[in-house]
Structure 1
Amino acid sequence: MTATYQDLPVYSTGCAPIGLMTRAQLRDGGRRLRPGQKARPQAWLYCMPRHHHAPLYTLEQTTPQPEPTAAQLSALAAGRAAWWKQRACPHCDSIHKGWCEQEFMSMLREDHEAAAGWARKVLGDPALVVLDTETTGLHDGARIVEIAVFGIDGSVLLDSLVNPGVPIPAEATRIHSITDDMVKDAPSFSDLLVPLTEALHNRKVVIFNRDFDKRRLAVELHHHYRTRYVNLEKPRHGRRRIHPAARAWLAAQSWEDCAMGAYAEWCGDWTWDYEARDDEPLYRQGDYKWQPLPGAGHRAADDCLAVIDVLRKMAADASR
């Protein structure tokens, strides 16, 4: 005994008399406290490392723990099963923090099959077209130097070089081999806007890198309409937005999901974001690595055909 607590003796762990036991020790010995005895401890046990006092009782304060009935055992098992079902992982049937390997593999499999289903849907639409462009670079102001639109059956709806009105940088030429001499007599984007609009009319458009090519179209449309119609919109944050007529043209088209995103999900090359929190959902723990277009020749027509081949490959292989 080292001290007193609430006018009762306090014992250190392992030093309490044999006749004094905690409630856990009583329960392990098949005993339980009689009604009203819980508030009448005979001494206290000082517990480390939480620095708390556990009450100690004598055997005279207890009665034998009755054997549970079959109905009680059944109800206890049902309650434990319900508790486990509510908290257990549906993939591995265990309780853990965050995600598990089974959930990760299930996500990869589901996304792969969803991408294959999307490819089958796209190929099943005879009115769908594939669009691709080649540009003067990857920066925000890059201009289009070649554009192609192919039917999903491989038919050519539009395939033309485009005079961007600006010099083509050497680094861009090294990629697509299009030079200033090749486009000096080519039509401008404004010259091709009518046939382009006709090629996309009442059709869904698939683009491998949809966001990039749509931005390039937005730039060209903005230059086209800016020289013909005054932009009466007020500047936003000190800058004028894309011409409203250009936005209207883009909104009038029917754009399918990005083929590059679907192809990345189909390939399943997952990259972890090690800065993500462990308790975040699995789909926020990283993303699929974007894949280069197989068979791409870095010419608009070749890339359109390469996209069609990728869609056919995805649609034909729905499962791993």
Structure 2
Amino acid sequence: MSYLCWEESVDLRQYNTFNVCSIARYLVRIRGMEDLKKLHVSPRFHGLRNLVLGGGSNILFATQDFDGVILKNEIGGIELLSQDDHSTVLRVGGGVEWTSLVKYCIENGLGGLENLSLIPGTVGAAPIQNIGAYGAELSDVILSLEIFNLSTGEVTTMSRDECLFEYRDSIFKRELKNVFITCLIIRVNKERFHCLNTEYSSVQDILQEQGVITPTIRSVSEAICILRRRKLPDPKIVGNAGSFFKNFVCDDFLSQSLVKRNPQIPIFPKPDRSFMIPAAWLIEGCGWKGKRVGEVGVFSNHALVLVNYGSRGGEIMSMAKLIVQDVQAQYGIELTPEVNIA
């Protein structure tokens, strides 16, 4: 009979892309449902704070110590469940790297994830904030997912509608936090029936730059990768978690009010009749782009990205608060973090 290994006093620097040091009291690696069941009956577990960790690409450990247990999602596997002439249904383990899933789909001629290329993290973390980029979101392809309730020990399958997906949001960031996502069921399209999304001018520019006349899922993926590498720093070189803040979303009434006060402000309509204001534009307008304070900075190529040159999580959080205050004072808009704070 196998037992869970409770690793003690674990430096989380290697498990978060911000590369900040925070010492976890315990870390337990979860590689299957049996591990979760053993964890749930452990008396030690229920007396501790817990945090589920995938690739650590969307989290900031703001304190020097994490007095609890980190549950490292390492559930693997990509399984073909069914297919027809038009599409394929896959079951994907929560610990699979997102980039590995995208690569699998492209190599097998399956479209739907190409616009989400090069997003760091794991599959199990993707539904929490409904990851998205360049006009596509996880909610476009997900059918259902399986969760293990860490409070009750119950295993539940949730449909896409039950996940209450919104822009960079889901039920898992609100009323259903204490769960472990074990796997996702997604439907992707066979390439000859797939409708590519190249509506972003930046994507079109890269395709033209690459001499692509007839785009494919592979060429679109490659274009997205070029864009992301140009805009975002490599976390292996400088610590970061990608976009730190969400873009600001508002209704028509508020958007008109903001334009009256700031005629130059860029506002983009969304399909749900709401309006989006780029947070990067707001931050840059306050003079933060490229600014460095001690060992923390705002990336010179993208104002949404906070970078760590060797600071602690608390210093990064302090800069984030200053940015929020400046944007609020100048534009009357309150930014909210996209990154989870632990």
Length-normalised TM-score, structure 2: 0.19
Q: Which has the higher strand share?
A: 2
Rg comparison, structure with higher value: 1
Higher helix share: 1
Q: TM-score, structure 1 length as denominator?
A: 0.20
